[in-house]
Amino acid sequence: MSGAQENVVIRSGDCSVTLLPKLGGKIASIRVGSHELLQAPLHPCAPRTPTMSFAQSDASGWDECLPSVAACTLLTEAGPASIPDHGDLWRIPWQILEATRDSATLRVDGFSLPLQLTRTILLVETPTGWRLQLLYSLANRGACNIPWSWSAHPLFAVERGDRILLPEPVHGLRLEGSAGSRLGSHGDAVRWPLAHLADGSTYDLSIAGCADCGIGDKLFAGPINPADQAQAGRSLSGWAALERSAIGLRLTVRFDPAITPYLGLWLCYGGWPDGPGPRQHCVALEPSTAPTDALSTTGSWSRRLAPGESVNWPMELNIDRVATAQNLRAQNLLAQNKEPQP
């Protein structure tokens, strides 16, 4: 632990992960060598309030959205509850339970609903890179049944041309929202990867756009059937990947579709936030318990915890070295018996 904010830094080889317990337990940085993998802060990181919007914050890094992504009001057994934008957890301090060179366990109690989340992170080196293992434990500390939903919110930095990969069974997505309604309206079905735009043209959603494209799309895949992605001896059969060939890395998010059967996709290439100032240039791959941002929207996916009940679920981020775009170009030229040029 170091710094005025008692930041927690865990390391393994050339990879480091920085957490900010006092600023919502945020994973503020995942760095491999000189490469930062997360969206940089749009504004300086600073204390948050219980009601401010996510757009008023630094809007960067990796937060946990619970008990809802979208702001909403719902009626619970204990009375009405008002859930703020992107939930409770990113705006309040977390408690450090344990921190070592390569792991950290933090805990936080929500305020809109009596839910307590404990998150353990372990960073390990692998033959091809690194694995960030996350284990979540959620408990109901109240006296009534409590509704809840969770979504990871890792904002991965991108460059134009980076590629998003989804499993073969995924050919369609559900639209949560789209800047300028370019993909249609809330709830519309959207084809993957070649989407039909509202103006009649097509767009390849699997390729990241430029920083000033004005694109901001939120979509959901799923429910993902564990049987569709079964891998021998592996429970985290759900996955989505971001290939960043320019820096020679592939980022693969893995999750257990038996517990978190949905995947949110936030594709932002200068399309958010609205108004003057810096905008995000990122892709978020978000394992989720629900196919919608609002806890108040209910369905077969809706979850409740009884008093004293708890639930656990895992997630992983695999960071693997791959050939860089420059190396691929050289390999292609050599395959054509051509001399690569500097």
For residue 46, tell me if it sits in a domain.
yes
Kindly tell me if the per-residue pLDDT of 93 is higher than 90.
yes
Q: Residue 342, exposed/middle/buried by CB under 10 A (0-12, 13-18, 19+)?
A: exposed
d(CA 287, CA 313): 11
> Comparing 199 with 264, which gets the higher pLDDT?
264
Asked whether residue 340 is assigned to any structural domain, the reply reads no
Q: Is the pLDDT of residue 1 over 80?
A: no
Task: Report if residue 341 sits inside a domain.
Answer: no
Report the percentage of the chain scoring pLDDT > 70.
91
- Give the pLDDT of residue 6: 79
| CATH number for the domain harbouring residue 27 | 2.70.98.10
Element (H, E) at 328: helix 325-335
Distances in Å between the Cα of 55 and the Cα atoms of 42, 120, 245, 258 are 9, 27, 30, 32
Nearest Cα neighbor of 113 from 139, 90, 81 is: 81
d(CA 70, CA 295): 7
Hey, how many other C-beta atoms are within 10 angstroms of the C-beta on 139? 20
Q: Could you give the number of structural domains in the chain?
A: 1
Alpha-carbon distance of 12 to 24, in angstroms, equals: 24
What mean pLDDT is predicted for residues 94-102? Answer: 97
Identify the domain containing residue 179 by its residue range: 8-335
For residue 44, is it within any domain? yes
Return d(Cα 43, Cα 15) in angstroms, integer. Answer: 25
For the cut 50, the answer to whether the pLDDT of residue 117 exceeds it is: yes
Domain-embedded: residue 217: yes
Position 280 in a domain: yes
pTM score, two decimals? Answer: 0.92
pLDDT of 199 above 90: no
Residue keyed to tokens 């409740």: 304
- Please state, for a pLDDT cut of 90, what percent of the chain lies above it: 87
Burial of 68 (0-12, 13-18, 19+ CB in 10 A): buried
Tell whether 45 is covered by a domain: yes
In a domain, 145, yes or no: yes
Residue 151 pLDDT more than 50?
A: yes
CA 202-252-55 angle, to 5 degrees, is 70
- pLDDT confidence band for 326 (50 / 70 / 90): low
**pLDDT value of position 225:** 80
